[in-house]
Structure 1
Amino acid sequence: MTALKAIHALARQLGMDEETRRAFSEREVGQRSLRAMSPSQQHQLVVAMKRAAGQDNSRTTALAGPYAKKLQALWIAGWNLGIVQNREDKALLAFVKRQSGVDHTRFLLEADKAEAAIGALEAWIAREAGVVWRKGKGRDVQDCVIEAQVRILGLKTADPDPSNVCLQAYDAWRAGSLDRASKQRAMNLLGQNIRAAR
C-alpha cells in the first residue's frame, strides 16, 4: 500500500475529516497538503497516524521519563532549525545514548546524565544554528528558536510582500501575540522553509 493510501485509510479509521487530517498533518510534519509532502514526511505521517490509532509497534521507543519532554522539545527545535536530519524519537534516543550512556529516556533518572544529553543538544543547536539561549522571565526555548529561525531566513519587517507567510508569523511573534501552540506552529512553518532552502 502506498503512503497516500495508508494515510487516507488511517484517516477514515480515526474518523478524521479533511480539515482535521490537515491540522494533524501540520502538527506532525509541518505540512498540511499531502501533495506538498516529501516521501519522508508522508512516512512520518503514517507512523504518527498509526500511533494515534493504537497500531504503533514501536512502544519501546515511545519517550517517557522526567527529562523526555525537554529533550523532545529541543530535538524538534533542532529539526525546525534544519540541523537534525531525522525527526523520529529513535534518532533522539540514539543521541541520548551517545551522550549519557543510557539506553532510553525512561531510564534517564539521574540529573547529571540528563544534563549531559540536554547540554550537548543545546550546545549543538547553539553552535550550528546560532541559537542564543536567553533564560529569564518572559523568554522560553520557543522564543530563542524563532529568533534564530528569523536570522537564518533573513526575515525583515520591511519585506514588501504581505503574502509572505513566514513574515506574517514573524510579525505576530514580534508583536507578542502568539501563545505556546501558535509559537509551535510558527516554528514548524519557519522550519519547513529552512529545510526547503537547504
Structure 2
Amino acid sequence: MTVDPMTARRRAIFAAARDAGLDEDDRRAVQLRVTGKPSLTGMTLTDMDKVLTAIRGNGAARSARPVGSTRAHVGKIWALWWSLYWLRAVECPEEKALNAWVKRQTGVDAVRFLDHKAAIAVIEAMKAWAAREGVEWSSPPCAQADRRAVLDAIWAKLLVVNRVEGRTADAFLRQRLNLPAARWTDRQTDEAIKLLGRMLRGGDGNG
C-alpha cells in the first residue's frame, strides 16, 4: 500500500524525534523554531522537510531544549518573537536574531541558556514590547485571549494603512480561511495571525 508523501513525512518526523530523545513538547519547540508553526497540521512538505532536517542535523533539535528554564518558557519566548515579527516590530524571525536580542537584554548568549528568572524577565520584556505595538494582553492571562489580542493588534495596523475594512477581523478571516462562526481553535487562530501578519508585512497573505 502506497503511503502519501505527507503521511510519510509525519512518520519520519515522529521517528526522528524518538531517535533524538525528544518528547512532544521538544518536537513542537523545534517545529515552531524552524517553520513558525508549532503543529504539523497545516505544514507543507517543505515545512516538514525543514523540521526533519533540524531534528536530524548536528544536534539542532537538542539545542531547542531549555537549560535552567523550562520548555514552556522557551516556547512562550518563541511564540512572542513570532508575534512581534507578524506585528512588524522585528525584521527577522530566525533564531540568530532572537538570540542576539536576548543577549542584548540579558547578556546570555542564547534562549536555551536562560535560567528561570531570566526567562521570565525576557517574556515580560517581550510582552511589554508587544503592548507598545498595540497588543492588549488578557488579565488574568489566557492563551486563547492573548492570541486574539495579537490578531486584533495586527488588524488595527492594517486598518491604519488602509489594507482592510471593518471594525473587526472576524468576517474577513472567516471568508479567507473558511473559519467557523463559533470559537476558533488555537491552530485556526494561529493561521489567522499568520495571514494578517503576511499582509501587514507587505504580502497578500497567500505566501
Equivalent position amino acid for 1:191 in 2: G
| C-alpha distance 115-137 of structure 1, shift in aligned 2 (>3 A) | closer
- From 88, 91, 101, the equivalent of 2:107 is 101
- From 126, 134, 140, the equivalent of 2:138 is 134
CA contact (8 A) 2:99 2:110 kept: yes
| C-alpha distance 56-153 of structure 1, shift in aligned 2 (>3 A) | farther
2:183 is aligned with 1:177: yes
| C-alpha distance 106-33 of structure 1, shift in aligned 2 (>3 A) | closer
CA contact (8 A) 1:80 1:192 kept: yes
Map of 1:145 onto structure 2: 150
| C-alpha distance 56-141 of structure 1, shift in aligned 2 (>3 A) | farther
User: How much does 1:137 deviate?
Assistant: 6.6
Identity %: 27
Q: 1:73-112 maps to which residues of 2 (within 5 A)?
A: 73-111=79-117
Question: Structure 1, residues 106-154: CA drift from partner, whole Å, max 9, x if none?
Answer: 332232x223312221222222x21122223755321110110121122
TM-score calculated relative to the size of structure 1: 0.62
CA contact (8 A) 1:63 1:89 kept: no
Q: Which runs of 5+ in 2 are unaligned?
A: 11-30
Map of 1:192 onto structure 2: 198
Question: Structure 1, residues 17-76: CA drift from partner, whole Å, max 9, x if none?
Answer: 9xxxxxx9xx93689899xxxxxxx8x887445225x23564575352412011111001
| C-alpha distance 74-183 of structure 1, shift in aligned 2 (>3 A) | same
State the SS of the aligned residue for 1:140: helix
Q: Which runs of 5+ in 1 are unaligned?
A: 1-11, 18-23, 35-41
Q: What RMSD over aligned residues (CA atoms) do the two structures have, in Å?
A: 4.0
CA distance in 2, matches of 1:172, 1:85: 29
| C-alpha distance 134-196 of structure 1, shift in aligned 2 (>3 A) | same
| C-alpha distance 147-132 of structure 1, shift in aligned 2 (>3 A) | same
2:35 is aligned with 1:28: yes
Structure scoring higher RCO (CA < 8 A, sep ≥ 6) equals 1
CA distance in 1, matches of 2:98, 2:59: 18
CA distance in 2, matches of 1:15, 1:170: 26
CA distance in 1, matches of 2:200, 2:63: 28
Question: Structure 1, residues 155-184: CA drift from partner, whole Å, max 9, x if none?
Answer: 44489xx8x5x46369958x5520111111
TM-score calculated relative to the size of structure 2: 0.60
CA distance in 2, matches of 1:158, 1:117: 32
Equivalent position amino acid for 1:130 in 2: G
